[in-house]
């Protein structure tokens, strides 16, 4: 006691203080501590939930960003595909339009060439008749007497067609010919009758029928040139003149 008093401690007061502290501790533990702990637990849970929500939100945002990037990439790819397909379609349409234009131009050119050829043959056909009349008139004037006009026309027809007495004389030179087609060139257009006569003579010589085309080339001046396969039968005036020139050299 004395020792405590020497230390300035009042035992009674100390006991009272200890009792007060014990009562206070019990009161706090009984009534104050549980609500505080419950409040702290709730706060901890709220904080934990907030952190979890933040984590979930961050994941959701990251997933949303990835999904958005994926959608953007797909959109870019789709847009590129659409542009590429549109370009390909435009190129295809352009090629088709160009092809149609070229085909139309070719058709127009072919029709123009065909029309020009038809007009040329019409003029040459008329020229053949005029040449015949002029030749007969010139012969009659030269000898001073009338000639057999029918005979003169036959001679002129033979001159232009290479047909004499219903026979194409140049075909006598045709031997061992192997061909799938033939071409007949005359100085002036041949009549349908003359064309049929040449075909019949040619088929009889070959022993079979083959396609025959007829062309007009005024530069040969008269007679005909017949091409059968790799053989060329030249009974034209220009051909005979060339042979004469070569013989005189």
State residue 168 phi and psi, 5-degree precision.
Answer: -90, 100
The predicted-structure confidence for 193-232, as pLDDT tens digits, reads as follows 989 999 999 988 888 899 999 998 888 888 889 999 888 8
The pLDDT score that the predictor gives to residue 184 is 92
Whether residue 47 is predicted with pLDDT greater than 60 in this model: the reply is yes
The pLDDT score that the predictor gives to residue 12 is 65
DSSP conformation class of 145:
S
The pLDDT score that the predictor gives to residue 144 is 47
Whether residue 159 is predicted with pLDDT greater than 80 in this model: the reply is no
The pLDDT score that the predictor gives to residue 146 is 47
Whether residue 101 is predicted with pLDDT greater than 60 in this model: the reply is yes
When pLDDT is averaged across residues 146-169 and rounded to a whole number, the result is 70
Neighbour count for residue 160 (Cβ, 10 Å): 22
Structural domain boundaries in the chain: 37-116, 148-248
Mean pLDDT of the chain: 77
Q: Considering only 42-56, 75-89, 182-196, which range has the smallest mean pLDDT? A: 42-56
The pLDDT score that the predictor gives to residue 10 is 61
From CA 217, how far away is CA 106, in angstroms rounded? 24
The predicted-structure confidence for 171-194, as pLDDT tens digits, reads as follows 888 877 778 899 999 888 888 898
DSSP conformation class of 150:
H
Strands (DSSP E) contained in the chain are 163-164, 167-168, 182-186, 212-216, 224-228, 231-234
pTM higher than 0.85 for the full model?
no
The pLDDT score that the predictor gives to residue 7 is 56
182, 188, 218, 216: which is closest to 201 by C-alpha?
Answer: 182
243, 245, 239, 242: which is closest to 227 by C-alpha?
Answer: 239
């Amino acid at each position: 006691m004395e020792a405590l008093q020497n230390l300035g401690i009042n035992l009674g007061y100390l006991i009272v203080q200890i009792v007060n502290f014990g009562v206070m501790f019990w009161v706090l533990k009984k009534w104050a501590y549980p609500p505080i702990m419950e409040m702290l637990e709730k706060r901890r849970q709220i904080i934990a939930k907030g952190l979890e929500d933040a984590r979930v939100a961050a994941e959701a945002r990251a997933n949303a960003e990835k999904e958005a990037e994926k959608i953007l990439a797909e959109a870019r790819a789709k847009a590129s595909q659409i542009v590429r397909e549109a370009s390909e379609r435009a190129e295809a349409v352009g090629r088709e339009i160009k092809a149609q234009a070229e085909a139309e131009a070719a058709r127009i050119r072919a029709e123009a060439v065909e029309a020009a050829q038809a007009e040329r043959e019409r003029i040459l056909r008329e020229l053949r008749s005029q040449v015949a009349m002029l030749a007969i008139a010139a012969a009659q004037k030269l000898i001073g007497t009338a000639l057999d006009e029918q005979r003169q026309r036959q001679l002129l027809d033979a001159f232009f067609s290479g047909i004499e007495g219903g026979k194409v004389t140049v075909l006598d030179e045709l031997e061992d010919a192997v061909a799938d087609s033939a071409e007949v060139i005359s100085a002036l257009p041949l009549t349908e009758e003359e064309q049929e006569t040449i075909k019949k003579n040619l088929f009889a010589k070959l022993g079979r029928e083959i396609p025959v085309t007829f062309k007009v080339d005024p530069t040969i001046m008269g007679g005909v040139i017949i091409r059968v396969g790799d053989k060329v039968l030249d009974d034209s005036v220009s051909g005979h003149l060339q042979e004469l020139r070569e013989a005189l050299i």
